[in-house]
Chain A
Amino acid sequence: MRKLASLSVILALCGGAFYAVSAAEKAAEPAKEAAAAKTPLECFESRKGASELTQRDVKPDWPNVKCSPTTGAALWYGDPYDGTVPMGKMPGLDIAEGKAVVKPRTEKLALMPMCGVSCHNGVGPAFNPPKLPKDKKPAPVPTMEAMVPDLANFQHGRGRIWCMDCHHTTKRNMLVDHFGDPVSFDQPQLLCGKCHGDKLRDWRDGIHGKRIGEFVSTGKKRWFTCTECHNPHNVQDGARNKGFIQVQPEPSPQLPRGMANADHEKLHPIPH
């Protein structure tokens, strides 16, 4: 009996030592793999070209965003309010001060500082009063089309609306509401809601569009404005694809052990 007991103690000690060694090996392995896979530092949010985030640590071991190594899309938000400003007043929305924030669009639009100053500055004979085509058909301006390629493929309204229905006549770095008053590019919902009232109503209630941050109705949220997801100039581009511009998907799930490919999924599933 005593012999057995001493044997078991020896065995147990050996087991303990082995356990420690294997644990150390386990820890070393994943570190190597992670070093090999490098993630991009800048990622786009909803659609490419609309808004980007640069990855940085907001706290130790806590990035503001994680980017997809495959597609470069934002995959995870550590700080949902990164780079946001207060949303401003919105008719029909009663939100406490500071509880609604948006990402400013003005910073993103590269032409913004120029368009109201260099060309459409409201100075000169053409602007007083502004001479606009009576038939509201935009005359193609090569310089303009070169700067904003979307204009050559302008689809919004399918020919029933033109530039000045959305852009302010004299203040070209602003949008325009029903009364002819300027609207900031940061609040496109005030403009879009003019026609798309049903979407505006759903957006106000959080059904249409996207909000991130705190989900309770009194919580602080970052609202995604219309133009962060939709390109207003060629909205119909993806009509056949549910209205969305196509994006590259993230990688597919792992195949189970022993399955070479997933071709069986493409076969007709219903035998007869």
Chain B
Amino acid sequence: MANNDTPCAGTAQDRPSDCPVQPASADPAANELKTTRRDFLRAGGMLSLSSLMGTAALMTQSDDANAAVEWGEHFQKNYRLMTTEEKNEARLRLERRYSDEYGKKVAVDTTEAQPGMLMGYALNIRKCIGCRRCVHACVAENNQSRGPRPGEKIEWIQVLRMERGKFEQEKMNHGYPEGLGIQVGGNAYTPAGQVLEGQYHYNPKAVPEADATYMPIACMQCEKPPCVKVCPVRTTYREGDGPVVIDYNWCIGCKMCMNACPYWARRFNLTTPVLPKEEMNPVTHYLGNRPRMRGVVEKCHWCLQRTRHNRYPACVEVCPVGARKFGNLLDPESEVSKILERKNVFRLKAELNTFPKFFYFYD
């Protein structure tokens, strides 16, 4: 830790007086501070001591898989900059730790994007009945936190319930001011159709309800993702085959991406994720559903651990009405290409020029 090779390093006492004095900061204002050089160096010494303590704390448990991984992870590169060997090392490290932690053989996949593949998604909005099976299939697949306390339960898909709305003679005078409806121009104030001001917590005895429509939203896997633009550590990025992914190890938890996302798709691990051992899905992908840590952002990645091996995402497979469709946009025979060719399609908030690869359609 302490480097005593050069005479100018080390503590203030044993440093020769002819050493050049380095300013503590490049900012001239910072040098105006009324701290002595001695105080500053002492603080620096304490700082290095405390980091030494942290290191020692990790090294005391070198036989614990968890600690060994944290040690290795601490010095690993951004996933995109890793060589194949480094990725392999990271994979083995994580497999060892997760297997140890969850008491079963956990596989961490690092399969790369395949050429000729551009994943796309389509959802038949006329068919969705709001049963939320996709939401819970996603949780079963993707190892989200599922504790009972607030902030411990994370779901990536949200299903919005929207009033179907209708215009009635009785409501004709409901404008402002009441009874006249002249001040703001009209009085047909009834909400109708897809307004994105829906209800997330609806819980009727049975769905679909006659007076409601349902609209599931999740990550749209934009071609121009605003979340990627704002990430200060470049840990979230678009993969070659389409999905926008996160290297959880490089996420600093600044939540900039959550602010930037216009689709409310990102979730933050406020607490240490609660993931029971027997519910943990042992088939994981490094950029996908491997267990996350506290303080990182996560979101839908189109079940990378499945789709990289040609399997449908979990939400597509459980949709009881077949509203969810997934396929290769570059393949004219895929179901998503056929939908784009044949059906009326829209993208959510298309005016933001995020170019989602998630399309809503209707018969």
Contact = CB atoms under 8 A, between A and B. Distances in A.
A76 B136 CA distance: 8
A45 B320 contact: yes
Contact of A270 (B189, B201, B314): B189
B311 A242 contact: no
A269 B200 CA distance: 13
Contact of B155 (A208, A244, A253): A253
B343 A253 contact: no
A27 B199 contact: no
Nearest to B361: A207
Contacts of A9: 56
A41 interface: no
A29 B275 CA distance: 10
Interface string A138-172: 00000000000000000000000000000000000
Contact of A76 (B318, B333, B339): B318
Name, among A47, A207, A212, the residue most crowded by chain B CB atoms within 10 Å (CB to CB).
A207
Nearest to B199: A265
A214 B310 contact: yes
A1 B274 CA distance: 42
B82 interface: no
Given A247-B129, A269-B197, A62 B282 contact: yes
Most interface-central of B310, B319, B320 (chain A CB within 10 A): B320
Given A76-B141, A250-B131, A270-B189, A19 B57 contact: yes
Interface in A180-216: 202, 205-216
B158 A253 contact: yes
B334 A216 contact: yes
Taking residues whose C-beta sits less than 8 angstroms from the other chain, chain B's interface range is 35 or more
B331 A217 contact: yes
Interface in B296-316: 307, 310-312, 314, 316
Given A12-B57, A256-B150, A265-B200, A215 B132 contact: no
Interface stretch (B32-40, B72-80, B204-212, B226-234): B204-212
A23 B101 CA distance: 10
Contacts of B312: 80, 211-215
A23 B66 contact: yes
B201 A253 contact: yes
B307 to A, nearest CB: 7
Contact of A255 (B57, B141, B150, B209): B150
B129 A212 contact: no
Contacts of A269: 191, 195, 197
A35 B137 CA distance: 20
B335 A206 contact: yes
B338 A206 contact: yes
Nearest to A224: B322
Contacts of B310: 214-216, 219
A207 B325 contact: yes
B205 A75 contact: no
B126 A242 contact: yes
Interface in B210-226: 210
B9 interface: no
A12 B60 contact: yes
B56 A30 contact: no
Contacts of A16: 56-58, 60-61
Contacts of A209: 322
Given A12-B56, A12-B57, A45-B320, A246 B208 contact: yes
A19 B61 contact: yes
B320 A73 contact: yes
B241 to A, nearest CB: 12
B104 A34 contact: no
B53 interface: yes
A30 B206 contact: no
Contact of A210 (B275, B276, B282, B322): B322
Interface of B: 11, 49-50, 52-54, 56-58, 60-61, 64, 66-67, 101, 104-105, 126-127, 129-133, 135-137, 140-141, 148, 150-153, 155, 158, 175-176, 184, 189, 191, 195, 197-210, 272, 274-279, 282-283, 307, 310-312, 314, 316-322, 325-328, 331, 333-335, 338-339, 342-343, 363
List 4 A-B pairs, minimum CB-CB distance, nearest first.
Answer: A262-B201, A206-B335, A210-B322, A16-B60
Given A13-B56, A212-B317, 17 more contacts: A8-B53, A23-B66, A61-B104, A75-B136, A76-B137, A207-B342, A210-B321, A214-B311, A215-B312, A241-B209, A246-B206, A250-B132, A252-B203, A262-B199, A265-B200, A270-B189, A270-B191
Interface of A: 1, 4-5, 8-9, 11-13, 15-17, 19-20, 23, 26-27, 29-31, 33-34, 45-47, 60-62, 66, 68, 73-77, 80, 202, 205-217, 219, 224, 229, 238, 240-242, 244, 246-258, 262, 265-266, 268-270, 272
25 contacts: A5-B49, A8-B52, A12-B54, A27-B101, A60-B105, A61-B282, A73-B318, A73-B320, A76-B314, A206-B325, A206-B327, A207-B342, A208-B363, A211-B312, A212-B317, A215-B334, A229-B320, A229-B321, A241-B210, A244-B129, A252-B132, A253-B158, A255-B201, A265-B199, A272-B184
